[in-house]
Amino acid sequence: MSLAGHKIKVVCRIRPFLKTEKPDDAVAVEGTNVLRVSNPRDSTKDVKFNFDSCYGPDVDQATIYRNDVRPLVETMFSGMSATVFCYGVTGAGKTHTIQGTETEPGIIPRAVEHIFMHQQRDAYDYDIRISYYEIYKEAVFDLLKPHDPTLAGLPIREDANRKIFVAGLSEKRVTSYEQFDSIYQKASGNRRTASTKLNNHSSRSHAILTVQVQWQDDLSSGKTWCGRLHLIDLAGSEDNRRTENGKDRMAESSAINRSLFVLGQVVEALNTGSSRIPYRDSKMTRILQDSLGGESLGMMIVNVAPGEAFLQDTNNTLNFATKSRQVVNKPVAYEVVEQRWSAVDRLQHHRGAAAALLAGRAGKSAVIAVGGGIKRRRSDETMDHHSGLLTDGADSVAVAGRQHVAPGAARPARHSDGSIRNGGGAPLPQQADFVQRAVTAKFQEMEQKSSSASNEIMERVMRIEQQLNDNSSRLDSRVVIDMFTPATKLKTSRGWLKHARELEQKGDLEKALVHYEEALRYAPDLNKLEVHIDKLRVRLRRQKRRSSIASHGAANVRVGEREGERRREGDSDDDDDWIKRRARGQAAVSPKSLAFVPPTKAAAAAAKPSIALASKPKTAVVASKPLLPVAAAKSNSAAAAVDGQAPKRVKLLSNAAAAAAAAPLLAKGQKSVVGRKFSGITEGSVHDRRISFGSSLLNPFVVGGDDFDSDLQQRLDRKAVVSSALTTKRLEAKSSAAARINRMLAVPPTPGDDRTDKDFVLQGSSDSDEEEEEESFKAKSRRRGGGGSGAAAAARVPGSLGVRGMVEQRRQRQLAAEVEAGGGSVVEKENDLFPQSLQDTRASNGHSKPQKQSRAGGGNGGEAEPRLSLDQFNEICQASALQMINSADVKKIMKLQGIGKRRAEQIQACVQAEGPLVHVCDLQTRLQFKNKLILGILSTFS
């Protein structure tokens, strides 16, 4: 039986005036179902509302129950679900209506009493259970259990019949009204209430009591029916200006108002036929889902507070109630409400299924009917359909406790070999025993499987729910994965694995690793995969190290080529490209760094070797013109090797020479050897460079010999020791630099100071600052080819000699000295500073000073220039920084380390207002700059 569209029943009740209220006639009942309300905008006019029933303030609880609620409760005994909920503003009498008082019991006690009376009257054995919970601040709490603040709210779920239920909610079986009353009173004490300005016992939550009645109408039929009654006391909508709620009450109030707002939206959506009904937008509407447009019977009691004071609220409430009246439910008839299988039914079903299975294995179809003489149930039919094992019961004969085969159907027979085959006639007793045993065993097995599976599923669901509650704010990926079934996990894992393998085959190890790791997340038991991932990680690390070494090696050589230029990461496009090409075997050496030509015959022919290679060179000769001073300083052994018979180590050559040296090897097809050796150079060079600063005989640009690899290996082994020593050195250097800066900061020199530090700026130059200044200007103008303008020079600030100016000055003086001493002309001179100091280094190491061919007649008569000490260099930095600062040019100033536009403008203003700085440290006194910043400025040039 099913009821066609059933509109929600709306009943209106006006509470009497409280003692504190001043009576008026703003709201009144006319007849039995009309409510007259003064128009809140114009009190001279009235607004009328029609409802199913309207009750004035003097109507008692019993009348309302008898007239409207009782019929609904009765529907329970037809296996239906019904919901009664009270709606209204705070203090309108909802709790009074649904719960009542001891002297005036409300709907709940009356309904339960009615159910028990029904039980006594009927012959059925009713199983009555109650559950009671509240929705407090959008969380569901079980009221039948003592309140535990540490517990998170319970989740709301939907069962297979799309019925809403609260997972994990406790149910209590009640056998008498007294028992119910004691439980209910205790549970009501757990409900959250508080005093507000409008209600001393204001409900702060929505409370839902569910009474479930279950019974079996006929033992032989096995039909179990279940009717449910939901009695809901909604919290009242609140105007916080009137309730004067505090912070806590406000939070509760906003949750209440929000859920009531969603309720309004649900009703609106139902009335407009919207495709989306926002039930899920609040817990309360989710609970009411079945009662609003669902399959329950619904009734809303609209509680109205009388008096003008509530007129606006009353109007809103009644408008909403009017809209709700249009909501149509489609209650489902009791015959499909719920059907439970008894254990006997299940056993019989499985017996039948197993017997059919056996018959099927025997090669013949069998039509076996099962059952104890009872009529077929709809659920049986469903099972039959799914299993495909049982056929229409109309053809079958069912006798309790025995199996019967349909007339004409094949029957199993026992043959001499004991096997069961198809045969005619009635089954033998042995056959019946055998089938019975097989069926029982099968049944037990299936039972076990299904119970363990359902246990497992339940456990999983509970675990997931727990995790979801624990991680309500964020959905952890573990939680998400846990939601998958084991089969899905495995499938997903396989998908990741497939992709990972493809990527690995393509050589994209990094991505492959990520995919493998994903696969492992879904299938953490795959030990082999774990091992494979570990291996892949090692491979990847190696690969990265190699490529890092390669790139550093290239950069290292580039450092040599650019002679002291600071290596900047990211400017190695060509080298990166080269590295890639090298990996493909298309390039031998970096185009920028080493002068190693591509292995083409044309290049080989074009190149003219400037050095003879040994007859059986075991190594490639790789060279680059520029040398780091230290590399050259350590190149004695290499030079010796060049002069010797077996050039196992060869000094760096010019680019062309290196190309020429490499060409024969390449031409002879020793590309691989060259490659390997080159690879050795590249790989080793990073470490070599570091080590060569120490004591190694090899320098980074010299390579060769069988012992190279072993030597390299040894040095790599010592890498850790050396690098830690280097770190210590660097730290020492840093701290000493900092100390120096601090010294400078402590006693800032002034232009008038007597410089006792002979290393300062220009060693051996004029004693006075004026002379020094003049000298620097001269040097500057000389560097510019004498074109320096006097005005520009005059604008220079004392002590602001630039780095280039100083270098130029020194060079000029040296040249003059050389010309004076040797009388020869300087034909060509190195422009760079370092080759000279390199020579000085060699000289100071006791080696004969090599004479450059280009210095015609130069001899070695020139006075060796003293090395530029670190202090000198710092002073140069200082001077340069000052020059930039005193230029008062924002753009220039901004080039200093740590100086942004704002600071630069500050400095500019300061210089313009107070004149040029004498010392960078003056920034501290003038502009309150920190020492750290001054250190940064100075480091611009270091």
Minimum CB distance to ligand ATP smaller for 303 or for 403: 303
Q: Would you count residue 303 as binding ligand ATP (CB under 6 A)? A: yes
- The Cα 368–Cα 37 span in angstroms is 70
Q: How far is the CB of 7 from ligand ATP (least distance, A)?
A: 24
Minimum CB distance to ligand ATP smaller for 204 or for 649: 204
Minimum CB distance to ligand ATP smaller for 140 or for 301: 301
When binding is defined by CB under 6 A, the residue of 9, 96, 283, 903 that contacts ligand ATP is 96
Minimum CB distance to ligand ATP smaller for 53 or for 203: 203
SS3 35: strand
Q: Which stretch binds ligand ATP (CB under 6 A): 90-98, 413-421, 422-430, 857-865?
A: 90-98
For 100, the token pair is 């009542």
Contact predicate 678/596, CB 8 Å: yes
Q: Where are the alpha helices (DSSP H) in 122-246?
A: 177-190, 240-243
Q: Which stretch binds ligand ATP (CB under 6 A): 89-97, 393-401, 815-823, 865-873?
A: 89-97
Q: How far is the CB of 248 from ligand ATP (least distance, A)?
A: 15
Q: Where are the alpha helices (DSSP H) in 699-824?
A: 707-717, 719-746, 769-783, 790-795, 803-822
Q: How far is the CB of 201 from ligand ATP (least distance, A)?
A: 5
Which helix or strand (DSSP H or E) is residue 479 part of?
helix 477-483
Minimum CB distance to ligand ATP smaller for 208 or for 270: 208
Minimum CB distance to ligand ATP smaller for 198 or for 398: 198
- The Cα 894–Cα 889 span in angstroms is 9
Distances (CA, A) of 569 to 10, 547, 573: 77, 14, 10
Minimum CB distance to ligand ATP smaller for 235 or for 262: 235
Q: How far is the CB of 230 from ligand ATP (least distance, A)?
A: 17
Q: Would you count residue 95 as binding ligand ATP (CB under 6 A)? A: yes
Minimum CB distance to ligand ATP smaller for 91 or for 599: 91
Cα angle: 447, vertex 448, 449; to 5 degrees: 90
Q: Which stretch binds ligand ATP (CB under 6 A): 11-19, 376-384, 657-665, 873-881?
A: 11-19
Q: Which stretch binds ligand ATP (CB under 6 A): 92-100, 451-459, 500-508, 581-589?
A: 92-100
Q: Would you count residue 498 as binding ligand ATP (CB under 6 A)? A: no
Beta carbons within 8 Å of 391's beta carbon, 6+ residues apart = 367, 384
Minimum CB distance to ligand ATP smaller for 304 or for 536: 304
- The Cα 506–Cα 894 span in angstroms is 48
Beta carbons within 8 Å of 484's beta carbon, 6+ residues apart = 492, 522
Residue with tokens 């009734």: 299
Q: Would you count residue 16 as binding ligand ATP (CB under 6 A)? A: yes
Window 190-219: residues binding ligand ATP (CB under 6 A): 199, 201-203
Q: Would you count residue 243 as binding ligand ATP (CB under 6 A)? A: no
Q: Would you count residue 236 as binding ligand ATP (CB under 6 A)? A: yes
For 329, the token pair is 């439910």
45: Cα separation from own chain's centroid: 61
Q: Would you count residue 88 as binding ligand ATP (CB under 6 A)? A: yes
Relative orientation angle of helices 719-746 and 870-886, to the nearest 10 degrees: 50
Beta carbons within 8 Å of 782's beta carbon, 6+ residues apart = 808, 812
Beta carbons within 8 Å of 494's beta carbon, 6+ residues apart = 519
Binding pattern for the stretch 869-908 against ligand ATP, x by CB under 6 A and - elsewhere: ----------------------------------------
Q: Would you count residue 105 as binding ligand ATP (CB under 6 A)? A: no
Q: Would you count residue 106 as binding ligand ATP (CB under 6 A)? A: no
Q: How far is the CB of 496 from ligand ATP (least distance, A)?
A: 54
Minimum CB distance to ligand ATP smaller for 303 or for 696: 303
When binding is defined by CB under 6 A, the residue of 64, 187, 235, 509 that contacts ligand ATP is 235
Q: Would you count residue 91 as binding ligand ATP (CB under 6 A)? A: yes
Q: Would you count residue 253 as binding ligand ATP (CB under 6 A)? A: no
Q: Would you count residue 558 as binding ligand ATP (CB under 6 A)? A: no
Q: Would you count residue 92 as binding ligand ATP (CB under 6 A)? A: yes
Q: How far is the CB of 301 from ligand ATP (least distance, A)?
A: 11
Residues in the interface with ligand ATP (CB under 6 A) total: 18
- The Cα 314–Cα 321 span in angstroms is 10
Q: How far is the CB of 58 from ligand ATP (least distance, A)?
A: 9
Backbone angles phi, psi at 300, to 5 degrees: -115, 130
Contact predicate 140/153, CB 8 Å: yes
Q: CA torsion, points 371, 372, 378, 383, in degrees to nearest 10?
A: -30
When binding is defined by CB under 6 A, the residue of 12, 54, 94, 332 that contacts ligand ATP is 94
Q: How far is the CB of 183 from ligand ATP (least distance, A)?
A: 21
Contact predicate 690/725, CB 8 Å: no
Distances (CA, A) of 2 to 5, 79, 334, 376, 501: 9, 11, 8, 21, 58
Q: Which stretch binds ligand ATP (CB under 6 A): 12-20, 43-51, 387-395, 715-723?
A: 12-20
- The Cα 314–Cα 25 span in angstroms is 13
Q: Would you count residue 705 as binding ligand ATP (CB under 6 A)? A: no
- The Cα 724–Cα 719 span in angstroms is 8
Relative orientation angle of helices 719-746 and 671-692, to the nearest 10 degrees: 40
Q: How far is the CB of 40 from ligand ATP (least distance, A)?
A: 20
Q: How far is the CB of 254 from ligand ATP (least distance, A)?
A: 15
When binding is defined by CB under 6 A, the residue of 9, 10, 15, 79 that contacts ligand ATP is 15
Q: How far is the CB of 109 from ligand ATP (least distance, A)?
A: 15
Q: How far is the CB of 164 from ligand ATP (least distance, A)?
A: 23
Binding pattern for the stretch 155-174 against ligand ATP, x by CB under 6 A and - elsewhere: --------------------
Distances (CA, A) of 717 to 49, 687, 707, 712, 713: 95, 10, 15, 9, 6
Q: How far is the CB of 134 from ligand ATP (least distance, A)?
A: 12
Q: How many CB atoms lie within 10 A of CB 517?
A: 16
Cα angle: 264, vertex 267, 272; to 5 degrees: 125
Binding pattern for the stretch 388-427 against ligand ATP, x by CB under 6 A and - elsewhere: ----------------------------------------
For 748, the token pair is 């800032």
Q: Would you count residue 90 as binding ligand ATP (CB under 6 A)? A: yes
- The Cα 325–Cα 401 span in angstroms is 54
Minimum CB distance to ligand ATP smaller for 85 or for 496: 85
Q: How far is the CB of 196 from ligand ATP (least distance, A)?
A: 7
Q: How far is the CB of 237 from ligand ATP (least distance, A)?
A: 8
Beta strands in 31-79 (DSSP E): 34-38, 46-50, 53-55
Q: Would you count residue 317 as binding ligand ATP (CB under 6 A)? A: no
Contact predicate 226/129, CB 8 Å: no
When binding is defined by CB under 6 A, the residue of 93, 553, 626, 680 that contacts ligand ATP is 93
Q: Would you count residue 798 as binding ligand ATP (CB under 6 A)? A: no
Distances (CA, A) of 273 to 3, 230, 327: 20, 25, 10
Q: Which residues bind ligand ATP (CB under 6 A)?
A: 15-16, 18, 88, 90-96, 199, 201-203, 235-236, 303
